[in-house]
């Protein structure tokens, strides 16, 4: 059984060739779908949130909130039911599902927090890097019902629903169906010349 997971550094090294040397953790984080269905411990889960907590944010507003359900808990079906069919096919083997929401206004003056999504994106990346380092699968998801999530989880109006995250223990690729097995490999990126534009567009 080939476990192609976050900590499979050889698969990552094969697929990802940086143009400049960067910290290995950045290249080694990727988004596998194959998970074992085993639970995530309380300590592991809190370690992920601890990593998220230290993200930078405008005025240190810390707009991120992580709503979550553990596998086999009473809340699990509610979270799982938000996912679209494609994501349900693989995320059923996650240990934890999260809905990430972000506060759109500052708590102290109610003014719009223009960078709230940007800040919450940084918190998610912290969580993903920490999880990758711990050998966990951490996989972001846009494929779910945003309106239903806001309703079902009593998200207050001043928060925006940003994304969902599946966290789990790596599993063998054989747990995936043929379509998703085909997709199970680390991806490449655009060259720097396409993303860094000196002097503007």
Ligand X SMILES: Cc1cc2nc3c(=O)[nH]c(=O)nc-3n(C[C@H](O)[C@H](O)[C@H](O)COP(=O)(O)O)c2cc1C
Among 28, 47, 62, 87, binds ligand X (CB under 6 A): 87
Of 140 and 172, the one with the shorter C-beta distance to ligand X is 140
Binding of residue 142 to ligand X (CB under 6 A): yes
8's tokens: 């499979």
H or E element: which one contains 141?
Answer: strand 137-141
Return the residue of 140, 153, 158, 181 that touches ligand X, per CB under 6 A.
140
User: 């601890």: which residue's tokens?
Assistant: 50
End-to-end CA distance of the chain: 48
- Name the residue nearer to ligand X (CB basis): 170 or 186: 186
User: Residue 119 carries which DSSP code?
Assistant: H
Of 2-10, 57-65, 102-110, 134-142, which segment contacts ligand X by CB under 6 A?
A: 134-142
Q: In Å, how far from its chain's centre is CA 3?
A: 20
What span, in angstroms and rounded, lies between the C-alpha atoms of 96 and 163? 14
> Which of 69, 93, 163, 173 is close enough to bind ligand X by CB under 6 A?
163
Q: Which listed residue (3, 7, 31, 181) binds ligand X by CB under 6 A?
A: 31
Residues 140, 165: Cα–Cα separation, whole Å = 4
Residues at the contact surface with ligand X, assessed by CB under 6 A: 30-31, 87, 140-143, 163, 186-187
């Amino acid at each position: 059984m080939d476990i192609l997971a976050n900590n499979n550094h050889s698969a990552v090294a094969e697929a990802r060739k940086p143009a400049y040397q960067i910290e290995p953790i950045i290249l080694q984080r990727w988004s596998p779908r194959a998970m074992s269905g085993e639970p995530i411990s309380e300590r592991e889960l809190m370690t992920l949130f601890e990593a998220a907590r230290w993200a930078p944010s405008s005025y240190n507003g810390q707009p991120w909130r992580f709503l979550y359900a553990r596998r086999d808990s009473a809340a699990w079906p509610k979270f799982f039911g938000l996912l679209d069919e494609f994501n349900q096919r693989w995320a059923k083997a996650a240990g934890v599902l999260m809905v990430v929401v972000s506060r759109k206004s500052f708590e102290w003056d109610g003014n719009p927090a223009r960078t709230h999504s940007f800040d919450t994106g940084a918190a998610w990346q912290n969580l993903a890097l920490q999880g990758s380092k711990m050998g966990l699968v951490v996989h972001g998801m846009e494929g779910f019902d945003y309106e239903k999530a806001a309703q079902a989880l009593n998200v207050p109006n001043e928060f925006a629903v940003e994304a969902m995250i599946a966290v789990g223990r790596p599993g063998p690729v054989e747990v995936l169906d043929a379509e998703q097995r085909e997709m199970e490999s680390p991806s490449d990126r655009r060259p720097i010349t396409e993303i860094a534009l000196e002097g503007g567009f």
